[in-house]
Chain A
Amino acid sequence: MSETFNRNLSVLKRHPAAFQLISGYASRFAPEKYLIENAKNGQPTLILHEEGARPLAFHSRYDPQAEAVKQVAAAYDGHSHVLLLGFGLGYMAEEILQQLKVRVGGLQLFVVEPDPAVFVAAMQARDLSRLLADQRVALCVGMSPDEIGDFWNANLDWTVLERLAIIDHPPAKARFNAYFERVVEKIRYLCNRSKGNLVTLMHSGFEFHSNYFANLAAGFVLPGVERLFGRFKNVPAIVVAAGPSLDRNMHHLKEVKGKFPIVAVDTALRQLVANGIRPDIVCAADPSYENSLDFVGVENETDVVLAVEPMTHPDIFESFKGPKMLMTFGGGLHPVFKDLREPVGTLICWGSIATTVFDLVRNLGADPIVFVGLDLSFEDGRLHARGSYSDDMLFERIHSFTSIEHESADYIHTRGRYKLGRSDGKVLFTDENMKLYRDWFEDQFRQTSVKIINATEGGVVDKYVEVMPLAAVIARYSNCSAPVREIIDEALCRPVNADCDALRDRLMHYRKLIRRHESEARRAVSLCRKLLNAYSSVEPARLSGRASAEYYDIMKLHDDICLEKDLFAWFSIHQTKFITRHTMELNNLKASPRATVGDWIKEVSGFLSALESFHEYQIPLLEEAINSLDRADKSQSSLKGDLSR
Chain B
Amino acid sequence: MEILLNDNRLDIEGISPEVTVLELLTTVEESLKGTQATVIEIILDEKSYSADDVSEISALKVMDYQKIELFTATAQEMVRAAFADGDAGLQHLEELAGEVASELRIGKVKEGMDSYLEFVDGIEWLVTMLKSADLAFASNMAESSLESDRQALVQRLGEQMNQVQIAQEAQDWVGLADILEYEFPEILQDSRGFIKSILAV
Interface residues of A (CB under 8 A from B): 40, 54-63, 67, 70-71, 74-75, 168, 170-171, 173-174
Bound-state CA distance A70–B175 (Å) is 16
For residue A60, which residue of chain B has the nearest CB? B178
Query: What string of 1s and 0s marks CB contacts (under 8 Å) between B110-129 and chain A?
Result: 00000000000000000000
- B178 touching A61, Cβ below 8 Å: yes
Closest to A64 in B: B174
Q: Is the CB of A58 within 8 A of B106?
A: no
Q: CA of A56 to CA of B173 in the docked complex: distance in angstroms?
A: 9
Cβ of B170 to closest chain A Cβ, rounded Å? 4
- Smallest Cβ-Cβ distance to B101: which chain A residue: A70
Question: Smallest Cβ distance from A68 to chain B, in angstroms?
Answer: 9
> Which residue in chain B gives the minimum CB-CB distance to A74?
B106
Interface residues of B in 118-177 (CB under 8 A from A): 170-175, 177
Contact of A57 among B174, B181, B182 (CB under 8 A): B174
Is B107's CB under 8 angstroms from A54's CB?
A: no
Chain A residue nearest to B181 in the complex (CB):
A62
Does chain A have a CB within 8 A of B105? yes
Would B182 and A71 count as touching, CB distance under 8 A?
no
- Given A168-B107, A170-B107, CB of A58 within 8 Å of CB of B174: yes
Q: What are the residues of chain B within 8 A of A74 when measuring CB–CB?
A: 102, 105-106
Could you tell me the distance between the alpha carbons of A174 and B109 in the complex, rounded to whole angstroms? 10
| Most chain A C-beta atoms within 10 Å of own C-beta, residue among B106, B175, B177 | B106
Please give, as numbers and ranges, the residues of chain B lying within 8 Å of A56 by CB-CB distance.
172
Give the residue name and chain of the A residue nearest to B183 (CB). Answer: A62
Closest 10 CB pairs of A and B: A170-B107, A54-B170, A57-B174, A74-B106, A62-B182, A57-B175, A62-B178, A60-B178, A61-B178, A168-B107
Provide a sorted-by-A list of 10 A–B residue pairs whose CB atoms are within 8 angstroms: A55-B172, A57-B178, A61-B174, A62-B181, A71-B106, A74-B106, A75-B106, A170-B107, A174-B107, A174-B171
Given A62-B182, A70-B102, A57:B172 Cβ within 8 A: yes
- Of A56, A57, A63, A70, most buried by chain B (CB within 10 Å of CB) is A57
CA distance A57 to B175 in the complex (A): 7
With both beta carbons as reference points, the residue of chain B lying nearest to A58 in the complex is identified as B174
Complex Cα distance A205/B70, Å? Answer: 83
**Complex Cα gap A70–B181 (Å):** 12
A60 contact set on B, CB distance < 8 A: 105, 174, 177-178
Closest to B170 in A: A54
B residues sitting closer than 8 Å to A (CB atoms) are: 102, 104-107, 170-175, 177-178, 181-182
- A70 x B106 contact (CB < 8 A): yes
Q: Which residues of A contact B175 (CB under 8 A)?
A: 57, 61
- A71–B174 contact, CB under 8 A? no
Instruction: Output the least CB separation between B189 and chain A (Å).
Output: 17
Bound CA–CA A173/B178 (angstroms): 19
Residue picked from B102, B105, B106, B174, most chain A C-beta under 10 Å: B174
Give Cα A309–Cα B166 distance, bound, in whole angstroms: 65
Q: Does B105 contact A67, Cβ atoms closer than 8 Å?
A: yes
Q: Contacts A71-B106, A174-B107 known; A54 to B178 CB distance under 8 Å? A: no
Shortest C-beta distance, B111 to chain A (Å), equals: 12
Report the separation of the CA atoms of residues A57 and B167 in the bound assembly, to the nearest whole angstrom.
10
Instruction: Please state if A55 and B178 are interface contacts (CB–CB under 8 Å).
Output: no
Contact between chains at B181 and A71 (CB < 8 Å): no
Question: From residue A226, how far is it (CB to closest CB) to chain B in Å?
Answer: 49
Give the docked Cα–Cα distance between A173 and B109 (Å): 12
Q: Is the CB of A170 within 8 A of B105?
A: yes
Contact check, B174 vs A54: say whether CB atoms are below 8 A apart.
Answer: no
A74, A170, A171 — which one has the most chain B CB atoms within 10 A of its CB?
A170
CB distance from A38 to the nearest CB of B (A): 14
With a cutoff of 8 Å between Cβ atoms, the chain B residues found around residue A59 in the complex are 174
Q: Which one of B105, B107, B172, B181 has the highest number of Cβ atoms from chain A below 10 Å of its Cβ?
A: B107
Within the complex, the shortest CB–CB distance from A29 to chain B, in Å, comes to 22
Inter-chain CA distance A241–B105, complex, in Å, is: 50
- With A67-B105, A71-B105, A75-B106 known as contacts, the answer to whether A170 contacts B173 (CB < 8 A) is yes
Chain B neighbourhood of A58, CB < 8 A: 174
Q: How far is the CB of B153 from chain A (nearest CB, A)?
A: 22
Residues of B within 8 A of A54 (CB): 170-172
Give min CB distance, A41 to chain B, whole Å.
10
Q: How far is the CB of A19 from chain B (nearest CB, A)?
A: 30
Complex CA–CA separation, A572 to B184 (angstroms): 61
Which residues does chain B contribute within 8 Å of A70, judged by CB atoms? 102, 105-106
Q: B177's closest neighbor in chain A, by CB? A: A60
The residue of chain B having its C-beta at the shortest distance from the C-beta of A170 within the complex is B107
Q: Give the residue name and chain of the A residue nearest to B104 (CB).
A: A170
Chain A residues with Cβ below 8 Å from B181 are: 62
Min distance, Cβ B175 to any Cβ of chain A, angstroms: 5
Contacts of A168 in B (CB 8 A): 107
**A171 (CB) vs chain B CBs: closest residue:** B174
How many Å lie between the Cα of A67 and that of B102 in the bound state? 9
A45 vs chain B, min Cβ distance (A): 9
B170 touches A55 (CB 8 A): yes
A174: chain B residues at CB < 8 Å are: 107, 171, 173
CB distance from A571 to the nearest CB of B (A): 46
Residues of A within 8 A of B174 (CB): 57-61, 67, 170-171
Set of chain A residues within 8 Å of B107, measured between Cβ atoms: 168, 170, 173-174
Bound-complex Cα distance A60 to B181 (A): 10
Chain A residues with CB below 8 A from B104, complex form: 170
**A65 to B: closest C-beta gap in Å:** 13
State in angstroms the CA–CA spacing of A56 and B106 once bound together: 15
Cβ distance B18 to chain A, nearest Cβ, rounded Å: 53
Chain A nearest CB, measured from B127 CB (Å): 24
- Residues in chain B near residue A57, CB distance under 8 A: 172, 174-175, 178
Shortest C-beta distance, A447 to chain B (Å), equals 30
New contact pairs (16) apart from A70-B106, A170-B105, CB-CB < 8 Å: A55-B170, A55-B172, A56-B172, A57-B174, A57-B175, A58-B174, A59-B174, A60-B174, A61-B178, A62-B182, A63-B182, A67-B177, A71-B106, A168-B107, A170-B173, A171-B173
CB distance from B106 to the nearest CB of A (A): 4
- Report the bound CA distance from A55 to B167 in whole Å: 10
Contacts of B106 in A (CB 8 A): 70-71, 74-75, 170
Say how far A436's CB is from chain B's closest CB, in angstroms: 29
Task: Tell me how far the C-beta of B116 lies from the nearest C-beta in chain A, rounded to whole angstroms.
Answer: 16
Compute how far the CA of A189 lies from the CA of B41 in the bound complex, rounded to whole angstroms.
60
Q: Which single residue of chain B is at the shortest CB-CB distance from A67?
A: B105
Q: How far is the CB of B141 from chain A (nearest CB, A)?
A: 34
How far, in angstroms, from A58 to B174 measured CA to CA in the complex?
7
**Closest partner residue, chain A, to B182 (CB atom):** A62
Min CB gap B1→A, angstroms: 57
